[in-house]
Chains A and B, each alone.
Chain A
Amino acid sequence: MMSDLLLQAAASGVVTGCVYALVALSLVIVYKSTDVVNFAGGELLMLGGYIGLLALVYFELSYPLMFVVVIVAMYAVGALFERIPLTTVRGQRYSKNAEADLVPLVVATIGLGYLLKGAVRVVPYTEEVRRLPPLLEGAPIFIGDVILLKQDIAIIAVTVVVMIALTGFFGWTRTGKALRATSQNPRAAALIGIPVKSMRMIAWGLAAGLAGIAGILLSPKLLMTPDMGNVVMLAFAAAIIGGFSSLVGCVVGGIILGVLQNFVGILISPQAMAVTPFVVIMLILVLRPQGLFGELAFKKV
């Protein structure tokens, strides 16, 4: 039955889409607070996954402890990257045009991506495909005719929790509000006494930590290789669907993309799944750059 097929495909797409959404959240946090498009987002996720694997398999830590280790380690990586290279790049005067000055920052993130990928690849253990043990194991669950794994339910739950926590953080906490002020107008923020440099570090740390969480959730599902960071393009597509600025938009965008990909796989061909996110990116940017429901994407013209 076609409808059963599509229903199952949709359910599976929602789960995969949630993982894309977590990575997309990480990208959007960086973009909103530092104006940088983080091309290393995928590699941060990959690094998080491998740190998790190291903690679980080599140091034999428990799952919750591993989560903490990954988040702390990734926070440090993100904050350090902002503090040392990106701050230095910002200090260089490239041109008179602030817009064009973003180019070297993005190039620096591309460099970071290669650097991380190269560093992980050097470890012989990564030559083979690996898999992080899932958060929850056990027999699949049936919801009607739709089959889901316990791990899948966990992924959806974590995504929802992270999204709510982030919305709360940006809406109600001092630091969150300061971060938003920094992103809207760094000069004004500095004038009213917000430490802009620290804010940027916090944003990068948060984003890298999120990428780490995504890595932990994604690794059991997608398997690990040093090249698994390529999934970042799917996250870009998810973020763009959501308008590249709203947190809820990321999650909805991710889910739309995950479901869409599976529908393309069933109704057109699996071969066309690879090109789906890129077609989505192009169409949305050309036809509706503010995203399907986002605020206007062009801030600060």
Chain B
Amino acid sequence: MDWLKGVKASLIGAAAALAIASPGVAADPGLTDTEITIGLFGPLSGPLVGFGLDPVNAARMWYQEANKKGGIHGRKIKLVIEDDKCTANDVVTVVKKLVTVDNVFMLHGGSCTAALTAAQEYINREKVPYSMLNAAGDNAVIPPLKYTFGAFHGTQRVYAAALAGYAIKELKVKRAAIIVHDDDYGNANLATTRAILEAAKVEVVAAERIPANITDVTAPLLKIRAARPDVILSGAYPAPAVLIAQKYGEYGMTSIPLMQAVQGIPTPAVFARNVGNPAALTNFYHGWSFTDVGDEAIKKKYADIYKSHYPDREAGPFMITGLPSAMAVVEALEKAGRNLTRESFVAAMESLDFKPEILAGPLQFGKDRRDGMRSGFVVKYDGKTQKMMPGVYTWNGKDGL
């Protein structure tokens, strides 16, 4: 029985800890001469499985690649993988299991910010280093908590800053409409977009907050149309994003640029097929922070590695989002050296400053900074080809706080 095994393991663990504790140098949990145990988790079932299955696979694949090259300072990475279903209750359960039963050295996981936030207090109390997987993570990393590192491909604030920055600089807009969901992502997005636009003297003529399960976007779109904006900035999720683009096309609003944050357009081709009407995408932009858009070679390279690890599974759109965090963890483990401890790992993460080839900008943390990546760019998409637009936009760390 798993239950009993867990109890037994922890008793043995406790006894072992006592035995080692005497001569001063106690190794941190999950660390031996030959192994580092990492607890990896994400939604592997439930409604949000699409956000987590491939990213968890991608992170696992990156650790296996590191092991193939001989491990990190002589240690191989051992993974304990758990399903958090993207619910707060399951995240807390899984985190407590990994920390107190599997005795992992560190935690790596999570695709949904709201659920992850529930475990932050515990993680930081137990002083377990924690790296998020692919959650945007605004509420979990702002304000910063010592043991929590996140936003490896940008927070909502970063996505919002890229779209608003481009609208101001390249589209020279004077009147903007914003449409977001009435949840934590939407709040962060709206606050940031508004702050940046208003600082540049752009008038926010409409700001609509819509429910995530909205079935008819007529009302918000009509209100936006009546406000006559020069640009529409949308932070909607995949299904509402399609509804918005459809209505926007139907109402012949295509002279106004429509800019969609990354979460609404997981696979551009599927998005275009769902919108159905090619005319709706003549003036359409979306945000992104991975260089795979502009660089076919990079795209192919990682898709090929994935294929070699998981021959049975076609890599989904979010696969690549699982990589930056795993890359950062491997980099920090290298940096922390052979005398690895939880504290030295946290210090290594904190001083991290490197740019993976897949990201638009560098991954950096600092004493008071736990959101890793602050750069994004804008892609023009006409339903067939994605064109990376010039300019990388960086969130200044202040707007929308």
Contacts and interface: CB of A to CB of B under 8 A. Distances in A.
A129 B242 contact: yes
A273 interface: yes
B219 A262 contact: yes
A269 interface: yes
B308 interface: no
A258 B222 contact: no
Contact of B274 (A5, A223, A274): A223
Interface residues of B, number: 38
B218 A13 contact: yes
Nearest to A10: B218
B226 interface: yes
B202 to A, nearest CB: 22
A121 B218 contact: no
A31 B216 CA distance: 27
Given A129-B242, A129-B274, A121 B209 contact: no
A264 B208 CA distance: 13
Contacts of A186: none
Interface string A200-211: 000000000000
B276 interface: yes
B222 A270 contact: no
A147 B250 contact: yes
B222 A128 contact: no
Interface stretch (B46-54, B88-96, B101-109): B46-54
Nearest to A261: B216
Given A265-B220, A270-B220, A271-B210, A222 B250 contact: no
Nearest to A117: B47
A5 B227 CA distance: 12
B266 A128 contact: yes
Interface in B305-348: 313-314, 316-317
A178 interface: no
A227 B390 CA distance: 38
Nearest to B212: A274
Contacts of A133: 276
B243 A271 contact: no
A273 B274 contact: no
Contact of A227 (B47, B216, B220, B222): B47
A234 B211 CA distance: 14
A273 B216 CA distance: 9
Contact of B276 (A5, A134, A231): A134
A7 to B, nearest CB: 10
A230 interface: yes
B267 interface: yes
B247 to A, nearest CB: 8
A223 B250 contact: no
B219 A128 contact: no
Nearest to A6: B222
Contacts of A182: none
B356 interface: no
Nearest to B251: A147
B238 A128 contact: yes
Contacts of B46: 121
A227 B86 CA distance: 15
Interface in B278-310: none
Contacts of B317: 128
Given A127-B50, A149-B250, A9 B210 contact: no
Contact of B216 (A147, A149, A262): A262
B267 A265 contact: no
Interface in A126-169: 127-131, 133-134, 137, 140, 147, 149
A131 B47 CA distance: 17
A129 B239 contact: yes
A246 interface: no
Contact of B242 (A13, A147, A223): A223
Contacts of A226: 47
Contacts of A26: none
Interface in B136-195: 182
Contacts of B252: 147
Of all A-B residue pairs in the complex, the 3 with the closest CB atoms, nearest first, are A265-B219, A274-B211, A127-B50
10 contacts: A9-B218, A12-B216, A127-B53, A128-B270, A134-B276, A137-B276, A149-B250, A225-B47, A230-B213, A270-B208
Interface of B: 45-47, 49-50, 53, 182, 208-211, 213-216, 218-220, 222-223, 226, 238-239, 242-243, 250-252, 266-267, 270, 273-274, 276, 313-314, 316-317
Given A124-B313, A223-B274, A231-B215, 11 more contacts: A8-B218, A13-B218, A128-B266, A131-B276, A134-B276, A223-B239, A265-B216, A266-B223, A270-B214, A271-B210, A273-B210
